[in-house]
Structure 1
Amino acid sequence: MISIENIKKCSQILFTVVLLLTIAFISFLVYRGIKSNDLEYTQTHELINVTKRPKIVLLLWTWPLRYSFPLNRCPPEFDASDCLYTIDRDMYSSAHAVIIHHRNISTSKTLLPQIPRPPNQFWIWSNMESPSNSLNLVFLDNLINLTMSYRVDSDIPTPYGWLVSKNQDSKKYIIPKKSKLVAWMVSNWKKNSRRVKYYEDLKNYLNIDVFGKYHKPLSRTDYMKNISTYKFYLSFENSIHEDYITEKFWNNAFVSGAVPIVLGPPRKNYERFAPPESFIHVDDFNTTKELASYILDLDKNYQKYQQYFVWKSKYEVSHRGSFMLQYCKVCRALKEAPGYRTIPSIAEWFK
């Protein structure tokens, strides 16, 4: 039989346990509240600091090609800590510069800012397309102050790729195992273009596998793995213009480990970016048959083929990266820009 005394002891123990649990729970809630307030204070404090710091306001008039990306996340090497990037058009009047992506405004001049322009505000023209694929450049007459494009002579150069010296500790480059001859990835198929006509003649002498919209399907996930099995890649540009050397050369060929056969600007232009023995230029041959004979000879002579990869022991490819990294260049460029001046004609300079 349970005595009254034992019941009292149990009640006291139960009360103590409940009391301790209640105190612990209240302490937890108080702690959570303090942490929440601390976080709130920290965020507010950081916001106050940001607004107090002197800022160069850079307004993206549109997302480039409607691709959005995180703003104000530039790596330290871009020296962009005192620049504020924004997509908010309400900040137009206080913006030190407006970045205008050509493709987004090329169909109508009304797509450009229509608000009165603040004194000394820079307009920066951004474009990665060639002149042949850039409509209505006249929209920009006497409006642009700085250019940002793949062209080396741009105020803010953003090439599709370039070579950088390898780290001394880098592993020696090993040529991927090859089982096929020539590949070409093409979606913009125009029968009367120079590159399609050249291909139509070249295929009479070589076996060329063509991938793309109107040809063999090839998923992006398998793309590099597939192309790396080919000895050569047709890096044929869709139009011929100075410095217009695109991902067809840098990524599709160089990075995948295929030797690029290039059709684009003159050889000398390519040699500004890459060693002369790293690629084959169609202009070096009088006929497509002559080029095909050279390719077939390289296919049989591995030692000679290997010479096209010697550069990889010293250099590696660096890409233009994302739009975010391109736009990160604007901050320093604006700080180092010459005195305010306006370009009379983008069309004249670009073409």
Structure 2
Amino acid sequence: PGAAFVAAASYRGPGNNDTRSNKALPILLWWSGSLFPHFPGDTERIDCPRGSCLVTRSRRVARHRRTKALIFYGTDFRAYEAPLPRLPHQTWALFHEESPMNNYLLSHPPGIRLFNYTATFRRESDYPLTLQWLPGAGYLRGPAVPLAEKDAWRRRGYAPVLYMQSHCDVPSDRDRYVRELMKYIQVDSYGKCLHNRELPSERLRDTSTATTEDSEFMSFIARYKFHLALENAICDDYMTEKLWRPMHLGAVPVYRGSPAVRDWMPNNLSIILIDDFDSPQELAKYLDFLDKNGEEYLKYLEYKNVGGIKNQFLLESLERREWGVNDMTLPNYLNGFECFVCDRENIRVKEEQEHKKSRGKIPAPRPRIAQFKHMGCPMPTPGFGNVEDLAEGDSWKEMWLQDYWQSLDQGEALTAMIHRNESHQGRFWDYMHEIFLKRTRQH
């Protein structure tokens, strides 16, 4: 590495007693240049709890012996662009806080097992980001619009249920479900998907307002009793602002997303799970019942009372995480994961040195390999009905089922290339063709 590495400014991390010069530090390379949590410049020294590292986004050092780890951003990771050959002295780290739909490669064993360290929304990952959309317990305790005001809103002709979605063709196929639900209960839909009502002002109609916590926008949607909160993909622990924002505002989320969502709820009665109901019609009946019975409805907001958050697992998880959400006093999770990788790599380097010194008496460190459950999202299923009943040429089926299974092939192809020490990326499609032929023969 050049002079920039030697002169890299020190990142004000938690600090440590590492006295090594920059020239002696392990290098971590952020492979996705667009995601480099340091500004300005391309290289920084980071001082983490167990030791220091240099971090860079300069691919010039990709093959350097001191470059110990490559950090990939899941959304940008493409099997056909992976750096080959994979070097035996380097680990691969995955940062993927976004939707599983962004890269289904990571939901298959061959895809996730390419990585040694993971930071994903799954609690089982090495550096879990599960509560990335929840700033803290206080966010849930925000006051709700009084029931009398919500009822007055209803009398003005507004629906009991809000749907606000502009990303329509997604793996969870949420619009198919909502369309069916709309047959049985009034739903005000303001986004591009299933749009049936206009927001009251041009300012609110501006998409950027609708995606931020703008106070005018928030107070408008807070008047609704129920928010349809359907994630764009189904996976354990994948929970976004679609869930937490209505709770913050004191609306009741009607939720589909993480099948394990109850583990994280403030108490046993704070959300309505779509999948608890046999049909959209049954769900509509229940929402109508709550709409007409204020006392029953308010039970869903009791977690906002003093001492109302009963879930110790939730409180402890918030307490334990070392990164913050919109909190300048804590590191963000990008820098946190970077330090996690740095610390692990410093340990690995030390163990390798001890192994060498002992001439094999001390065993070499065992490589860590990510497990299926670090992501492991299921095959997409229709939002309503069975896949067999979908029309031939249904766009959802053609897009998402194909994407899911092609991603498996891509993971297998890249794994095979690595095992064969392949160095030419362009051969990826030959490997894909080989897998395709093998599958065809099996069928």
The TM-score with structure 1 as length reference comes to: 0.68
SS where residue 333 of structure 1 aligns? helix
Indicate if the aligned counterparts of 2:46 and 2:52 stay in contact, CA closer than 8 A. no
371, 376, 379: which one aligns with 1:350: 376
In the aligned structure 2, how far is the partner of 1:127 from the partner of 1:206?
A: 37
CA shift for structure 1 position 55: 4.5
State the 4+ residue runs in structure 1 displaced beyond 6 angstroms: 44-47, 72-76, 316-320
2:38 alignment partner in structure 1: 70
Indicate if the aligned counterparts of 1:162 and 1:273 stay in contact, CA closer than 8 A. no
Indicate if the aligned counterparts of 2:116 and 2:370 stay in contact, CA closer than 8 A. no
In the aligned structure 1, how far is the partner of 2:60 from the partner of 2:46?
A: 27
- Paired residue type of 2:82: L
1:260 alignment partner in structure 2: 253
In the aligned structure 1, how far is the partner of 2:91 from the partner of 2:233?
A: 30
Deviations, residues 278-305 of structure 1 (Å, cap 9, x unaligned): 1001122233222222222222333322
In the aligned structure 2, how far is the partner of 1:209 from the partner of 1:246?
A: 21
Deviations, residues 188-218 of structure 1 (Å, cap 9, x unaligned): 3239964222211211222212232343545
1:25 alignment partner in structure 2: none
Indicate if the aligned counterparts of 1:183 and 1:210 stay in contact, CA closer than 8 A. yes
Indicate if the aligned counterparts of 1:211 and 1:218 stay in contact, CA closer than 8 A. no
294, 297, 301: which one aligns with 2:289: 297
In the aligned structure 1, how far is the partner of 2:337 from the partner of 2:208?
A: 31
Check if 1:207 corresponds to 2:186: yes
In the aligned structure 2, how far is the partner of 1:344 from the partner of 1:288?
A: 38
- Paired residue type of 1:250: W
2:202 alignment partner in structure 1: none
* Aligned residues between the structures: 294
1:112 alignment partner in structure 2: 82
* Larger strand proportion of the pair: 1
The TM-score with structure 2 as length reference comes to: 0.55
Check if 1:220 corresponds to 2:208: yes
- Paired residue type of 2:231: E
Indicate if the aligned counterparts of 1:58 and 1:83 stay in contact, CA closer than 8 A. yes
Indicate if the aligned counterparts of 2:75 and 2:102 stay in contact, CA closer than 8 A. no
Check if 1:249 corresponds to 2:243: yes
Deviations, residues 87-127 of structure 1 (Å, cap 9, x unaligned): 12233322332111122122x52x222366261x2211122
Indicate if the aligned counterparts of 2:141 and 2:248 stay in contact, CA closer than 8 A. no
SS where residue 278 of structure 1 aligns? coil
2:15 alignment partner in structure 1: none
Deviations, residues 27-55 of structure 1 (Å, cap 9, x unaligned): xxxxxxxxxxxxxxxxx8977x9983674
CA shift for structure 1 position 233: 0.6
Deviations, residues 201-246 of structure 1 (Å, cap 9, x unaligned): 2112222122323435453335433322211111112232222222
Deviations, residues 140-198 of structure 1 (Å, cap 9, x unaligned): 475311122111111111124458455xxx99742125335211222232399642222
Indicate if the aligned counterparts of 1:145 and 1:340 stay in contact, CA closer than 8 A. no
Q: Measured at CA, do residues 175 and 62 of structure 1 come closer, stay the same or move farther in structure 2, by a change above 3 Å? A: same
RMSD: 4.1
Q: Measured at CA, do residues 246 and 165 of structure 1 come closer, stay the same or move farther in structure 2, by a change above 3 Å? A: closer
327, 343, 348: which one aligns with 2:334: 327
1:184 alignment partner in structure 2: 163
73, 80, 86: which one aligns with 1:101: 73
- Paired residue type of 2:73: H
Percent of aligned pairs with the same residue? 27
209, 217, 225: which one aligns with 1:231: 225
Q: Measured at CA, do residues 142 and 194 of structure 1 come closer, stay the same or move farther in structure 2, by a change above 3 Å? A: closer
1:271 alignment partner in structure 2: 262
CA shift for structure 1 position 59: 1.9
Q: Measured at CA, do residues 349 and 67 of structure 1 come closer, stay the same or move farther in structure 2, by a change above 3 Å? A: closer
Indicate if the aligned counterparts of 2:243 and 2:255 stay in contact, CA closer than 8 A. yes
Check if 1:282 corresponds to 2:270: no
Check if 1:87 corresponds to 2:57: yes
Bigger Rg, structure 1 or 2: 1
Q: Measured at CA, do residues 83 and 249 of structure 1 come closer, stay the same or move farther in structure 2, by a change above 3 Å? A: farther
SS where residue 269 of structure 2 aligns? helix
SS where residue 117 of structure 1 aligns? coil
SS where residue 263 of structure 2 aligns? coil
Query: What are the ranges of 5 or more consecutive residues in structure 2 without an aligned counterpart?
Result: 1-6, 11-17, 199-204, 349-364, 378-443
Query: What are the ranges of 5 or more consecutive residues in structure 1 without an aligned counterpart?
Result: 1-43
Indicate if the aligned counterparts of 1:131 and 1:350 stay in contact, CA closer than 8 A. no
Q: Measured at CA, do residues 132 and 293 of structure 1 come closer, stay the same or move farther in structure 2, by a change above 3 Å? A: same
Spell out the pairing of 1:162-201 with structure 2 (5 A cutoff): 162=134, 164-166=136-138, 173-177=142-146, 178=150, 179=153, 180=158, 181-190=160-169, 194-201=173-180
